[in-house]
Amino acid sequence: QLQLQESGPGLVKPSETLSLTCTVSGGSITSSRHYWGWIRQPPGKGLEWIGSMYYSGSTYYNSSLRGRVTLSVDTSKNQFSLKVSSVIAADTAVYYCVRHPYNDEVPYYFDYWGQGTLATVSS
Amino acid sequence: DIVMTQSPDSLAVSLGERATINCESSQSLLYSSNNKNYLAWYQQKPRQPPKLLIYWASTRESGAPDRFSGSGSGTDFTLTISSLQAEDVAVYYCQQYYNIPYTFGQGTKLEIK
């Protein structure tokens, strides 16, 4: 059974960089036909897709985060990571790592989700 | 960006009754080359991550109870729960994957009447 688990500091200071890692177990991150991504949910609010990438490097980002996001993959550890720079209070959210299948170069719906980790931006 | 609008924002239904949630997209999600609607539905219970229920607008995910069904095409979609069970209390989201950025509806909170 595929499992995704987020990890990272729960508290980040304003203007600093939020860094999260997702560890994949029960399957390989180099699996063909799957992208790996991040979605966030501010407390009590809805869902926002952040970005997704294929293990070989193809990446899609949500332009709403204005270039503050970087995704990366470590295939040796079966992990992928998210960095959000210059964070502000509005970046406070539960961050979920997700998997989605793809075909014809287009990623689809999100079929596996991690449990989520709360990242709070505060001084 | 494609805007997804759900209605209603909240809904209270009696146990055993039908629940219907609507989702409207600001542009068609029907891809003409394969005749598929790029629309998914998720269920999020309190303190849990969302769970995929339906994809391609009407295909039930493995393990999802058959009382859940999806319908619609183009810009108008519906999630129906045929006979509400207590464990169906949750927030439901629709999501489009026709265009990047992927976008979600604002959510519909389903409660027991």
pLDDT in tens, chain A (123 residues): 999 999 999 999 999 999 999 999 999 999 878 999 999 999 999 999 999 999 988 899 999 997 899 999 999 999 999 999 999 999 999 999 999 998 876 789 999 999 999 999 999
Distance of CA A80 to the CA centre of its chain: 8
What's the confidence (pLDDT) of residue A102? 87
Query: How many A/B residue pairs have CB atoms within 8 Å?
Result: 50
Q: How much is the CA Rg of chain A, to the nearest whole Å? A: 14
What's the confidence (pLDDT) of residue A32? 78
Task: Tell me the nearest-neighbour CA distance from B51 into chain A, angstroms.
Answer: 7
On chain A, the residues whose CB falls within 8 A of the CB of B102 are: 49, 62
SS3 B62: coil
Query: Which residue of A lies nearest to B47 if distances are taken between CA atoms?
Result: A115
SS3 A89: helix
Residue B107 has pLDDT above 80, yes or no: yes
- Residue A6: in which H helix or E strand, if any? strand A3-7
Distance of CA A53 to the CA centre of its chain: 9
User: How many beta carbons lie within 10 A of that of residue A83, not counting itself?
Assistant: 14
User: How many beta carbons lie within 10 A of that of residue B41, not counting itself?
Assistant: 29
